[in-house]
Amino acid sequence: MTEVDSLPDNAPVAPQAEGIGCFRSVAGRTRFTEAYRAGMQTLPSPAEIRTVTTAFGTTTAYRFGPPDPEPILLLSGRQASTPMWRANLATLCEIRTVWSIDSIGEPGASAQTAAMRGPRDQAAWVDEAIAQLGVERMHLFGVSIGGWLAAQCAIHRPERLASVILLDPAVTFAPITWKMIVVSLGSVLPGMPRPVRNWLLSWISGGVKVDESMPEARLIASGMRDFAQHQPQPELLTDAEISALSTPMLVIIAGASIIHNPERAAERARMIPAAQVEVWAGRSHAINGEAPEALAARTAEFLKSL
């Protein structure tokens, strides 16, 4: 079994072929690796760690809890990976077994080897990863761009999905705001000063003070600084795609999110046939860390309703 302290040293370093996400330097990967391992030490000990191979590269999967034919699968946000779920794992594991995978093309214990050209490719690698984990179906649980990815899986590769839970999904039902465009600059400008990065992370988290003493903040800040992304530009779901979704779905929109107009996002999400759509007033885009107990309770209620 793969050991946590051996990861993520397999991730590629620049220069790479066009379309391959990679660390900007060996020093940057080392800095990120230290933050990643420190973050993993704050989580419950995984029962299993698997490295699976897809057509677009390898990714690492962590299982928390005993084998389960229909576990929850966590899909992280942009510049994030498994350690971002520190606040959620204990409560979600009380519901059922949880898997978390580090996304290909994002900083983490993944190693991209082929470019992804669009949403079909991005959904394909998730489906291929699920197929190798020895489970029948998954309940996808995605936040931010991980929510967008979960929605794309429901559109293009729904066969292995038992349900989908979207937490304030980015670029899914409503366009991003100018505020989020400003935040995104911190992801693409490697020379951004540390205080500015911390301020940007604080802004997206509803004004909560953020610094690199927080494991998740340190990890995301390193990803913003040290990792060069080459993902296809995500696009909003079309009305036709939304109306055709048939996988059972719970959509929770953060009422104080700066990533999109929450009411507009909720209005379009309600076009999904039989979806359960809610706006949680006062919650920021960092909703998974703000309300872990409430999210776990709502997830349990949703899964029981299926």
Domain boundaries, the chain: 4-304
- For domain 4-304, give the fold: Rossmann fold (3.40.50)
CB contact at 8 A, 139 and 71: yes
Q: pLDDT tens for residues 265-284?
A: 999 999 999 899 999 999 99
Tokens of 93: 């594991």
Q: pLDDT tens for residues 178-204?
A: 566 666 655 555 566 666 555 555 545
Residue 128 CA to residue 131 CA, distance in Å, equals 5
The pLDDT of residue 4: 65
- Regions of the chain with pLDDT less than 50: 1, 203, 206-207
CB contact at 8 A, 282 and 252: no
The pLDDT of residue 274: 86
The pLDDT of residue 221: 82
pTM, full prediction: 0.91
Q: Which residues are within 8 A (CB) of 67 and not within 5 positions of it... i.e. 6 or more apart?
A: 97, 134, 135
Tokens of 100: 């978390």
The pLDDT of residue 179: 62
